Amino acid sequence: MSDHSSHTTTDHDVIRKWAEERGGVPASVEGTGSDDDAGVLRIEFRDADDDLEEVDWDQFFKTFDDRGLAFVYQETTSDGQQSRFNKFVRGDRAS
């Protein structure tokens, strides 16, 4: 039975493992970051047309924690394929 429901976590290890299993790296939307803030966070899958800048995991998770975010993700699609679905939400809106 595949698990195509979405999950929510704030666990850095779960987020990093999920991303790395799919070839994803921490990133931010180009031009949105500063020295102490990674900007608008994303997981980058190296798609050619993305306007994303790769950031290191430490800066990524500092911004993630400072903003009180949670990570919503899916393990598999409804047809059993590995899913890349993910989004960031405010931690107080996570359910």
Whole-number percent of the chain with pLDDT over 70: 81
Exposed, middle or buried: residue 53 (CB in 10 Å: 0-12, 13-18, 19+)?
middle
pLDDT of the residue at 84: 92
pLDDT at 56 over 80: yes
**13 contacts: CB under 8 Å, gap ≥ 6:** none
The four Cα atoms 68, 72, 73, 78 give a dihedral, to 10 degrees, of 180
pLDDT of the residue at 92: 75
How wide is the angle at C-alpha 7 spanned by C-alphas 40 and 1, nearest 5°? Answer: 140
pLDDT at 94 over 60: no
- Taking the alpha carbons at both ends of the chain, their separation in whole angstroms is 23
Strands 6-9 and 69-74: antiparallel
pTM of the predicted protein model = 0.80
pLDDT of the residue at 33: 65
Least confident of 23-37, 64-78, 81-95: 23-37
pLDDT digits (tens, 9 = 90+) for 25-53: 998 877 666 667 777 788 988 766 666 77
